[in-house]
Structure 1
């Protein structure tokens, strides 16, 4: 253990810094961060006030900030009103830019890391010079170092695996994929082709599966009759392929015909587009109840949605099982900086 109090305090600070024990109050060694760290330490120890500032701590703060401790009742305000340049000498000392520093800087650093006894005079007046940090023996923070002539044996590198994708990323991707698939299917299912108005010379039309298309005189279409152009039928006549989507509101407003055992439904009256010898009839409540079922339509789509969600879940599970190989070096440092990002993602979750 260093005999000089300044060396002891600085060594204790560096060990705590390297172990990450000061990261919450002093993530970076700057003058502004030092002032903020002093405020955090003061608030954590003395606010709310269950007791006054310890006499030794009052001496340390009053000497460092050059105030009369008999007239000061709120050191938190003193720290808050201080300038970052007040900590410049201490900042240079802990960063190793200066070898020695003043006694008040060493005492403030001891107060900051909760090293006891403090200040420097109390250490030298202590009979056994037992050093503690936060009530714990300093040996917990300053283990005996390895002699220079006995170098630490190299630690063989070890390989381990981490998940390639975070659970949050997989869940969000699955939800977005399911939403896009559902929305795309709904748009495709209800897509209505735009009616193409006849051009010059197109005075006839033919049935193209579920709507009429204009055609010029003399053109032939295999398997379908060519009839004279009717603008009303061209614009309004459509075959309803998803007849289960109809409700009781459609009764009397939709026309139908039965071809063999299969009913067909249309949006307008008139002759059948293919079998021109037959006419379409208005859909009655009986026909609607017999051939159409809106609950069946909802149930069918619900089953499709569940199947799609199940398949996407399987893909998500497969992605969660994918691993990435990492290799560790001496002192637990990894050869890949992505391990740090992975740890941050896990902490954020």
Structure 2
């Protein structure tokens, strides 16, 4: 029943958005806008029922006595499932999140919705179908002849042997098909798989983002999450902020995802900022791409020694190296096995 409630809540949001009946914070929904909307709605209502909804979502452990303070202190990541639900229709498992959305959009509470729907469910009586006796059919005995065509009599085999090859292990069938292939094809396949595995290993951690240069009519840009992308100023893109283009920032500012790769040689070349309690690192100075009021700070020795671990990065590479060695050993065993099977096959033919 609660799943139906969530579906109707999502339909209600979409209908109000089409009809331009949502507030500015809910029209172009973002994490910080949802927090501001909670503060605005609570300032207007502030009933005991509203306080229960706020406490269930923002302060379930009872850490804060002030509902407003609990809203202001919550991390913005807590709103991510709500945004995914509204924009993409992804399911929310937390009942408190669903009830908070209903409260923000002035939708019926779950109890009110249930009372309107009516929870009395009438179970229809179970009617057993009448038992119908199957018609009796005389089956031929084991030794009785079965007439296939006029003038042709065939005796059915008794205790016919079962072909064991039909019920063998499917993996063994695959191996047999591989063995039947020419040896050159087998070796070539294994070498290709090896090169793919080695290439994937050494490409781990390499950034593949490429910066596209702007066209003549692209005078603006937006942040993709890892770098800036040029775009037309009048283009509309969901949940992004379009700003005037800056070629230096476009070409030099990127987000560093593998932060453990930073060393003392990165000092003076890397900048960082703390967002929602998490430090993010970038390749150039300036303002934070998602928060223009927050300035990026240069990487310091304190941050490098306390929040970045190059040894952890080396340990990760060590784990992948061991996996790669095991992978290569298994491939060598497979090649030896194929060579032996090929040799056996030749001896049997001779």
Q: Fold match, TM over 0.5?
A: no
Q: Which has the larger radius of gyration?
A: 1
Q: Which has the higher helix share?
A: 2
Q: Smaller-chain TM-score range?
A: 0.3 to 0.5
| Larger relative contact order, structure 1 or 2 (CA cutoff 8 Å, min sep 6) | 1
